[in-house]
């Protein structure tokens, strides 16, 4: 069993929280920026990239706030890992940010962070921000 390390990233996103929540919590929203296509079957989201697919179970969904998924492969290995996309609003400035919490093996941490930077870049392009 591999040891994965938890990390967090924050990205400012100039968007309404309702639009953002739709983009992070629905198959149609996720397919616009996170994957080529996304299907849903119960609590399982099937993500498609370049003809390959990966399944993640939605562990939790707090309306307007956050979604948490666990990759099927990690669950099968008995890992307590997940990835969470949370919306944070700064109390003073009302700036909106996405907080990404994810896990990666120590030697794959930079790669994981770069992937999220690219994914959030795609999200910002779709949102026009």
Q: What are the residue boundaries of the structural domains of the chain, listed by start?
A: 4-127
Residue 3 pLDDT grade (very low, low, confident, very high; cuts 50, 70, 90)? confident
Enter the CATH code of domain 4-127. 3.30.530.20
Residue-level pLDDT at 82: 97
Please check whether residue 69 is in contact with residue 34, taking contact to mean a CB–CB distance below 8 angstroms: no
Q: What is the dihedral of CA 117, 111, 107, 57, to 10 degrees?
A: 80
For strands 96-105 and 4-12, give the pairing. Answer: antiparallel
End-to-end CA distance of the chain: 40
* Model pTM score: 0.93
Q: What is the mean pLDDT of the chain?
A: 95
DSSP-assigned letter for residue 107: G
Residue percentage of the chain with pLDDT more than 90: 95
Residue matched to tokens 């616009």: 32
pLDDT tens-place string over residues 12-70: 999 999 999 999 999 999 999 999 999 999 999 999 999 899 999 999 999 999 999 99
């Amino acid at each position: 069993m591999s040891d994965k390390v938890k990390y967090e990233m924050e990205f400012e996103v100039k968007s309404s929280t309702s639009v953002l929540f739709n983009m992070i919590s629905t198959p149609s929203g996720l397919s616009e920026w996170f994957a080529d296509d996304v299907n849903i079957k119960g609590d399982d989201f099937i993500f498609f990239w370049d003809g390959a697919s990966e399944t993640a179970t939605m562990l939790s969904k707090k309306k307007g706030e956050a979604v948490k998924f666990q990759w099927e492969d990690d669950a099968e290995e008995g890992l307590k890992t997940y990835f969470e996309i949370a919306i944070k609003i700064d109390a003073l400035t009302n700036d909106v940010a996405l907080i990404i919490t994810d896990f990666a093996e120590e030697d794959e941490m930079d790669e994981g962070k770069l992937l999220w930077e690219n994914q959030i870049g795609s999200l910002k392009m779709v949102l026009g921000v």
